[in-house]
Amino acid sequence: MAKTRTIFEGVATALITPMTENGVNYEQFGRLIDWQIDSGIDALVIAGTTGEGSTLTDEEHKNCITFAVDRVNHRVPVIAGTGSNHTEYGKQLTKFASDAGADACLIVTSYYNKATQKGLVKLFSEYASVSDVPIIAYNVPSRTGLNIEPSTYQELAKIDKVAAIKEANSNISKIVDTFARVGDKMDIYSGNDDQIVPFLSMGSKGVISVLSNVIPAETREICTKFWNGDIAGAAALQCKYNELVSALFCEVNPIPVKEALTMMGYCDPIIRSPLYRMEPENLARLTKAMKNLDII
């Protein structure tokens, strides 16, 4: 079965959701969206993990999607995070996002209620049945306790609408196996900022990135150099930004990236429980990494 079109090539920023004490700060949200697009980003992921989608209310989640679709106004693809461990709710969100004008939906595997590998095929089939736009299967075992096996991707590749993978399992051997099995059938994106170049070397279409919240143009340059044949230059940038990547994940995402954007003046340091402000020693580490790159 022919797959749907490629959703994006390059960098999709997994965008934070700026917040007030009582809700979403849409003024800051709009400013972030415009800055990201003006910086050359290729797509935006709304209300995903980095956007704290799991602690947004149903109304907030839907409003964030519709706000982003309207604000972006077709300048780049909008990818809505709509997965859930409550499948029926996730399907409702996916149908909503599809109808609201999102260009794709990012669907995380079930978490807490963990599916079997055969169950994952059925799960993504259910999501695909309610979506009019392509679906990206999101694999992040460190959060879900569940890994999509390469052999399971072969089955997912047969499902219309399941067009791509965001792979964040960090196991390079399984990643290579996945490229070998479905790299010609599904677009594969890195879900880890410390593996952009390794993924590109295997034929990845790019990265769904946390790093690009902070340095969007510079993150995009990694892909640009690689695709222009400057492999050494892309690798050098991957190494250059490694200290910052490490600092952005020294506490649970999106705690550090929200602190970083607060220091840059793009949002307030408000994050939803069960996440809390950074520990002082980790904040110092993040600050140092940003200063070393002249970001602040």
What are the residue numbers of the active site? 138, 166
DSSP per position, 78-129: EEEE---SSHHHHHHHHHHHHHHT-SEEEEEPP-SSPPPHHHHHHHHHHHHH
Query: Rg (Cα) of the chain, in Å, rounded?
Result: 18
Q: d(Cα 280, Cα 296) in Å, to the nearest integer?
A: 18
With both helix axes pointing from N to C terminus, report the angle between 87-100 and 117-130 in degrees, rounded to the nearest 10. Answer: 40
Q: Report how far residue 105's alpha carbon sits from residue 276's, in angstroms, rounded to the nearest whole number.
A: 28
The number of helix segments (H) and strand segments (E) in the chain equals 13, 8
How many Cβ atoms are within 10 Å of 113's Cβ, its own excluded? 11
Nearest by Cα to 16 from 2, 8, 6, 28: 28
